[in-house]
Amino acid sequence: MGSSNIIEIVFLHVAAIVSVFFITKKIKWQTILLQFVIFFFAQISITGGYHRLWSHRSYEAHPILEFFYFIFGTIASQNSALKWARDHRTHHRNEEREGDPYNINKGLWHAHMGWLLQDYDEKTKRELQKTSTHDLKQKKLLVVQDRYYAIFWILLAILAPTLICMIWNDARNGFLLNFIRIILNLQLTWCVNSFAHYSGSKPFDKKMKASDNLLVSILTMGEGWHNYHHSHPKDYRCSQVGKYNPTTWFIDFTHFLGLSKNHKTKTETIVYSNKFDLLNYSKSKF
């Protein structure tokens, strides 16, 4: 996987840098607003959808909400939900030891994005094979996304925003801003894997490197309370009550709208088995 990822990641970063120099001074405010809204929805679809809903199954979502996460999760450009959840479940089961895809003990760079630029070692490959996403493969939407991810990505992340900007005659700037938005979504998400395992407080478990980091929480809509999250991974809030956590507020709002239910909290905490077991994952205390 390393070589293909290198091409994709380098291309996106180069495109974002080049875009900065080619955006015209006459960029429309509608273009900026559109990209900001897409950025927000894409980020919330990773934190609330890919992470808390599908990776941890910490609450249940109405099909409308799942479709929203599918659309904007694809736009976030972090691969399919099936692959994202597989990597993340493996990370939790092997947290901060061999077999963890983005193991912080291999260095800050490795945890941030280096793991995406090289092939998995043999231990990690075995652990990934043990990780079941059978529960997610029952969802046709996620299977279709995984199968045709590249096509969906081009249509949703690049083409659709550009076409929308054509309405107010600013397609060029809309096209260029796509790449800047994508890199921001990627880099901010990667901060959780790196800086939230590197710096911060450890009020719940001082033995782990996962830390509560306010700055990362601000940058990632509440995902930086990582010492809490690794101590209570099934809690849909990923933090204590009262912490800065826009993702939790968004999920609570979807509950108010009738689009989500059965939100799990730390009182229902279970632990991953050494070999991922779907029955234990869905019915035991996590």
Tell me: the pLDDT tens digits for 51-108? 999 999 999 999 999 999 999 999 999 999 999 999 999 999 999 999 999 999 999 9
In this structure, are residues 223 and 237 in contact, taking their beta carbons and an 8 Å threshold? no
Cβ neighbors of 18 (< 8 A, separation 6 or more) are none
Residue 210 has a pLDDT of 96
Q: What is the largest CA-CA distance in the chain?
A: 56
Please tell me the predicted confidence (pLDDT) of residue 267: 65
pLDDT at residue 284 tops 80: no
Structure tokens of 36? 């900001």
pLDDT of residue 4: 62
The rounded mean pLDDT for the chain is: 92
What per-residue confidence (pLDDT) applies to 270?
A: 37
- Residues near 119 by beta carbon (within 8 Å), at least 6 away in sequence: 1, 2
Percent of the chain with pLDDT over 70: 92
Q: Is the pLDDT of residue 286 over 80?
A: no
Joined together, the tokens standing for residue 44 give 């919330």
Q: What is the DSSP letter of 274?
A: S
pLDDT reported for residue 282: 35
**Mean pLDDT calculated for residue range 178-190:** 98
- The stretch 21-34 carries a mean pLDDT of 96
The amino acid at 280: N
Note the pLDDT of residue 269: 40
Is the CA virtual torsion 74, 18, 218, 33 positive or negative?
negative
Percent of the chain surpassing pLDDT 90: 89
What CA–CA distance (Å, rounded) separates 100 from 124?
6
- pLDDT at position 111 over 80: yes
Closest among 95, 73, 82, 94 to 55, alpha carbons compared: 82
Q: Which residue stretches of 131-276 are H helix? A: 140-147, 149-153, 160-165, 171-194, 214-219, 226-231, 246-256
Residue 181 φ then ψ, to 5°? -60, -45
The residue ranking higher by pLDDT, 281 or 126, is: 126
- 112 pLDDT band, cuts 50/70/90, is very high
Give the three-class secondary structure for 182: helix
- pLDDT tens digits for 220-267? 999 999 999 999 999 999 999 999 999 999 999 999 999 999 999 986
Question: Which residue shows structure tokens 């940058």?
Answer: 219
User: Which has more pLDDT, 131 or 279?
Assistant: 131
Rounded to the nearest 10 degrees, what angle do helices 81-93 and 122-130 cross at? 110
- Please answer whether residues 186 and 15 qualify as being in contact, where contact means their C-beta atoms are separated by less than 8 angstroms: no
Strand partners of residue 201:
212
pTM reported for the whole predicted model? 0.91
Q: Which two tokens stand for residue 81?
A: 């939900």
33, pLDDT greater than 80:
yes
Counting other chains too, the contacts that 33-36 makes at CB distance below 8 Å and 24 or more residues apart are: 34/161, 34/164, 34/165, 34/174, 35/161, 35/174, 35/177, 35/178, 35/180, 35/181
Query: Average pLDDT for residues 188-205, to the nearest whole number?
Result: 96
